[in-house]
A and B are shown apart, each in its own frame.
Chain A
Amino acid sequence: MITRDFAYHAPADLGGVTAALAGGDAVIVGGGTMVVPDMTHGRTTPGVVVDLSRAGLAGLTQTAGGEVVVGATTTYTQLLRGGELAPLLRRVAGGVTGGPQIRNKGTVGGSACYANPSSEIPAALLALGARMRLASARGVREVAAADFFTGAFTTERRPDEVLAAVVLPSPDGPAFGYHKLKLSESSWPIATAACVRGPGGWRVALGGVAATPLLVTIESADPRHVRAEVARVLTEPWSDVLADGDYRRRVAPVVALRALKEGEAS
């Protein structure tokens, strides 16, 4: 049960959202798959709830400049059905567990803003070099994904800001690979690797293995090189009840190599 009362707003547009957030003490509900249970279990006790479901933030569009704007409330199911513009995100969406019920509700923005070390979207956004478009009553600003994830469950987002969209620099992520390691279907992802081919080699973002996703640039998929690079960035591996840091340290390069192998074949 959610024991604390709150005021509920479901604004019809982004302006309404930012206005509702301006008062403070607000929690945003995207798809609600994490935040509603968190309220039920007293892990967050807001005075105001701002529900994004009517704000019209879902969907993928391409700008004239070729960038892809993914609305924050785009669900995994929407990515699966119409995510041609964001194939890596679509690939991630297809592997999200919890059944169609979670894919129907869980959003890209929710995953990014929750910043759970075990969530998959953050690392994918990092690999894609995405920009996070944050809106508030004070205006709109963009933060690079690389700067957005500041720690476990914390981001650069200020309390009065909503993530309106993520902006992907190019539409079809020329070539990519993805690999996810989990203990079983019930398990959180333990380690993920998303790789996107860039000018200087593969941009490989590791998820699940540290408090924030980690980016490495890999020039060649030579296992020794990959292992060394992963070891270099993975200085403080994440530990939780499912797997300790030592395990994550050991599997991170394996997962990276598997993603790269897929990327090379793509």
Chain B
Amino acid sequence: MTRVNVTVNGRAREIDVEPAKLLVHAVREDLGLTGTHVGCLTGDCGACTVRIDGATVKSCSVLAVSAEGAQITTVEGLAGPGGLHPVQQAFWDEFGFQCGYCLPGMLLTACELLEDDPDPTDEAITLAVNGNLCRCTGYHAVKRSIRCAADRMREGS
């Protein structure tokens, strides 16, 4: 077992993991944050997406031990005391999900995109979610949700 110190959604946490443990399993089992999902364990689906030091990664392709010292954001960390994050709100209003299994990946990649590029083109939105598979929505409402979030966030700021 290796002791790993991470800051998760703003809180310092300490976990003991085997070096062989994937970050996605550490997040789900050791940190108890089951909002991050497993869909493939091959890096293809994006359901396991988390942000490490601001950058989205597929946490099934990261060893938990390698996250020592990192700032991790999971889907549970998006909403603040004031309620849902504007991206979450937009996904709700615009029906950006159905079963919600892909949702953590969609939300976190959308947040990363909009921080980099507050007014993304349709192409940029597509490129941002291209690593996330969704079998329910056909992506139409996902893209619409991100556009809506971008518009609202720009108006709000």
Contact = CB atoms under 8 A, between A and B. Distances in A.
Q: Is there any pair of Cβ atoms, one from A and one from B, under 8 angstroms apart in the complex?
A: yes
Interface of A: 1-8, 10, 29, 31-34, 36-37, 39-41, 49, 51, 53, 77, 97-102, 104-105, 185-186
B20 A5 contact: yes
B41 A102 contact: no
Contacts of A39: 20
Contacts of B113: 100
A53 B58 CA distance: 16
B44 interface: yes
Nearest to A3: B20
Contacts of B60: 36-37, 40
B66 A97 contact: no
A104 B43 contact: no
28 contacts: A1-B20, A1-B22, A2-B22, A3-B20, A5-B20, A6-B20, A8-B19, A10-B66, A36-B60, A37-B42, A37-B43, A39-B20, A41-B42, A49-B19, A51-B63, A51-B66, A77-B55, A98-B131, A99-B56, A99-B109, A99-B129, A100-B112, A100-B131, A101-B46, A101-B105, A105-B57, A105-B58, A105-B62
A195 B62 CA distance: 34
B66 A6 contact: no
A3 B41 CA distance: 14
A188 to B, nearest CB: 11
A53 B131 contact: no
